[in-house]
């Protein structure tokens, strides 16, 4: 029970990270020491287990089904996913309100989160060959230019929502840029936050005078996004796992580069949201940046489970 509670709380931290356009939930998983387990569990998911469902009618079939679930580490994924979902639902409203009231201060907090995460991952990464340096620089340049995209809050096509889910979920297995940052880049962050809030409100309304139609309208993009996220999660997990197995240090260097390049995002957002920089506002932004950095560095200090050794070299 203690282990499951720990995994659930780590999921909450991952969800809280991924709901903001800054530090990645994958980064939190890396710092928390569950990254490799997460990658292995996702990559180990085998859809062929669904073929054994008819055999659940027998005791032997149920035992085999349970053993298969344990072998794929499905309980770990379910508990972790429950924690992630809890954080996303609780924080979506808070983030929306904070963006409207304190955009510069909040983006300063995001900057601190990203910068400190880059430091934490770089500390366990050996970037000492031309290939690894090139991977880091490529990640930084890629994230810098991608992070320059502007956000649009308009309604999107379901195809774009599907693609947004597939791309954004990669942050779950790719430490560096959060899923929310990908949504920002694709112009879907505000739209999906609004759809999620409206969907949850409509679900709660069913217990009162709400209608099913009110659930369906915002529920369609939410479901499409989740389907896209499922597809992206299964595919990205395998790609990241192969990259880590082939050259762990170069892959981590690329991820550090992504975080460094992504620092453009909170800077651009804070500048765009602020017309006049007063000394008080500047002090608040700097303070929020330091708090964000302290959160990640403090979490890393009390999590002594990172063990990333060199496997191969470029």
**Structure tokens belonging to residue 281:** 């506002």
**Residue extents of the structural domains in the chain:** 93-301
List, for residues 30-68, the tens digit of each pLDDT value: 778 888 888 788 877 777 787 777 888 888 888 888 888
Q: How many residues does the chain have?
A: 314
Task: Quote the pLDDT of residue 177.
Answer: 62
Give the CA angle between residues 47, 40, 38 to the nearest 5°: 105
Q: Which of 217, 154, 218 has its CA nearest to residue 186?
A: 154
Q: State whether residue 190 is helix, strand or coil.
A: helix
From residue 70, alpha-carbon distances to 44, 45, 62, 173, 266 in Å are 11, 11, 12, 21, 41
What contacts 265, CB < 8 A, 6 or more positions away? 21, 22, 110, 147, 181, 184
For 89-104, what is the mean pLDDT? 84
List, for residues 150-162, the tens digit of each pLDDT value: 554 556 688 888 9
How many helices (DSSP H) and strands (DSSP E) are in the chain?
14, 0
Buried b (16+ CB within 10 A) or exposed e, 45-58: beeeeeeeeeeeee
Q: How confident is the model at residue 172 (pLDDT cuts 50, 70, 90)?
A: low
From CA 31, how far away is CA 28, in angstroms rounded? 5
What Rg, from alpha-carbon coordinates, does the chain have?
A: 20
Residue 306 has pLDDT above 60, yes or no: no
From CA 209, how far away is CA 195, in angstroms rounded? 20
pTM over cut 0.75: no
């Amino acid at each position: 029970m203690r282990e499951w509670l720990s995994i659930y709380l780590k999921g909450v931290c991952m969800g809280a990270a991924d709901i903001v356009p800054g530090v990645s939930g994958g980064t939190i998983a890396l710092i928390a020491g569950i990254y490799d387990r997460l990658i292995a569990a996702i990559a180990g998911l085998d859809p062929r287990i669904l073929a054994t469902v008819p055999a659940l009618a027998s005791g032997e079939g149920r035992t085999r089904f349970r053993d298969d679930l344990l072998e794929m580490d499905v309980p770990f994924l379910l508990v972790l996913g429950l924690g992630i979902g809890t954080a996303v639902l609780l924080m979506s409203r808070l983030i929306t309100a904070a963006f409207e009231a304190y955009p510069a201060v909040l983006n300063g907090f995001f900057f601190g989160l990203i910068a400190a995460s880059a430091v934490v991952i770089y500390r366990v990464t050996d970037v000492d060959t031309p290939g690894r340096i090139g991977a880091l620089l490529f990640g930084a340049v890629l994230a810098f230019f991608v992070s320059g995209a502007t956000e649009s809050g308009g309604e999107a096509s379901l195809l774009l929502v599907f693609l947004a889910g597939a791309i954004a979920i990669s942050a779950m297995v790719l430490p560096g840029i959060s899923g929310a940052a990908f949504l920002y880049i694709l112009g879907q962050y505000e739209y999906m936050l609004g759809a999620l809030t409206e969907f949850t409100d409509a679900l709660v309304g069913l217990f009162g005078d709400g209608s099913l139609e009110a659930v369906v309208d915002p529920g369609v993009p939410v479901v499409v996004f989740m389907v896209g996220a499922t597809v992206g999660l299964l595919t990205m997990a395998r790609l990241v796992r192969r990259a880590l197995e082939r050259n762990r240090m170069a892959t981590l260097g690329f991820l550090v580069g992504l975080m460094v390049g992504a620092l453009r995002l909170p800077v651009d957002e804070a500048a765009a949201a602020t017309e006049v920089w007063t000394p008080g506002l500047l002090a608040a932004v700097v303070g929020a940046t330091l708090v964000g950095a302290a959160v990640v560095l403090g979490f890393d200090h009390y999590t002594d489970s990172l063990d990333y050794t060199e496997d191969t070299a470029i």
